[in-house]
Amino acid sequence: MARLVGCVNTSHVPAIGKAIASGLQQEPYWKPFFDGFPPIRAWLDEVRPDVAVVVYNDHGLNFFLDKMPTFALGAAPQYRNADEGWGIPTLAPFAGEPELSWHLIDCLIDCEFDLTTCQEMLVDHAFTLPMKLLWPDGQAPATVPLCINTVQFPLPGARRVWALGEALGRAIRSWDSDARVVVIGSGGLSHQLDGQRAGFINKDFDQRFLRSLVEDPTWATRYSIRDLVELTGSQGVELLMWLAARATLGERVRLVHRNYHIPISNTAAATLALAVD
Ligand code: DHB
Ligand code: FE
């Protein structure tokens, strides 16, 4: 059966893509963020995942407000990136793993998660940036994208997303394959891009949330979406991706590395890697 090796969660601010393209990783503004990655890449070199299941939220590139699935899973042989208007270079397509996609779809629908299945799917910065940060030289593993709506209300709640993550973890482990699989969660942490609270960041909440993922991983499921928007900003709800990714791993995890830096653009930028030994 497939082996789930751990998860890597990270923020996905578009400006990261520009910084990479311009080689600014060692500039004072960017260094504290990029310095979070070498220890995680060293761990990935050890565990050598064959597939990355990428849990992220689309921002209007593939799904727009007229049609917004709550949960959507990619089942394509490859996933194309396209220009979102942020000025980030468009990346080459990412390889899919349709056999795992269809296994996950079968398992998750059997567990009553009524996914939208996508045999064509454009992937935006929330998918491409973690891939580029974790595999900067383009040696990325095959991918399966799982999209969770955090754009068009109503959003799925934290408890539901946790349950989805648990079911996803069981489904990955039951795949009849020798593959090693890593789960990536892309989003957050606290940020708000518009409205009266634009620029809002809640360091205390973020730190508590980061600790909880190791010590008490269901801690954040006590909060409603309204609470999460209040506590973390209207885009801070992207932390749901982190919850789903963490929930795949089960109870016992080992902290590989964590990093927290305020701000990048408007976002409290964080990175957290957890291993299942
Ligand atoms: C920013 C953060 C995001 O999560 C996003 O999707 C776009 C922009 C920002 O802070 O600039
Ligand atoms: Fe975002």
Q: Is the pLDDT assigned to residue 207 strictly greater than 90?
A: yes
* 194 Cβ closer than 6 Å to some ligand 1 atom: no
* Per-residue pLDDT, 64: 95
Of 151, 193, 238, 239, best ligand 1 pocket probe by most atoms within 8 Å of the beta carbon: 193
Condensed to tens digits (0 to 9), the pLDDT of residues 12-48 reads 999 999 999 999 999 999 999 999 999 999 999 999 9
Q: What is the DSSP string of 155-179?
A: PPPHHHHHHHHHHHHHHHHTSSS--
Three-state SS at 7: strand
pLDDT in tens, 142-195: 999 999 999 999 999 999 999 999 999 999 999 999 999 999 999 999 999 999
267 lines ligand 1 (CB under 6 A): yes
Select from 255, 262, 254, 131 the least CA-distant residue to 188. Answer: 262
**Alpha-carbon distance 49 to 175, whole Å?**
14
Q: Residue 28 is encoded by which pair of tokens?
A: 């004072």
Domain residue limits, the chain = 3-276
Q: Is the CB of 36 under 6 A from ligand 1?
A: no
Residue 14 CB less than 6 A away from ligand 1: yes
Q: Quick one: pLDDT band at residue 100, thresholds 50, 70, 90?
A: very high
Cα 130 from Cα 198, distance rounded (Å): 24
pLDDT at 222: 98
| Per-residue pLDDT, 237 | 98
12 is an active site residue: no
Q: Is the per-residue pLDDT at 138 higher than 90?
A: no
pLDDT band at 216 (very low <50, low <70, confident <90, very high): very high
Most informative mutation of 127, 267, 271 for ligand 1 (most atoms within 8 A of CB): 267
Q: Point out the ligand 1 atom lying closest to the alpha carbon of residue 264.
A: 10
The separation between CA 87 and the C-alpha centre of its own chain, rounded to angstroms, equals 21
pLDDT in tens, 37-80: 999 999 999 999 999 999 999 999 999 999 999 999 999 999 99
Architecture of domain 3-276: 3-Layer(aba) Sandwich (3.40)
- Residue to mutate, 13, 201, 261, ligand 1, most ligand atoms under 8 Å from C-beta: 13
Binding site membership of 12 for ligand 1 (Cβ less than 6 Å)? yes
- 257 assigned to active site: no
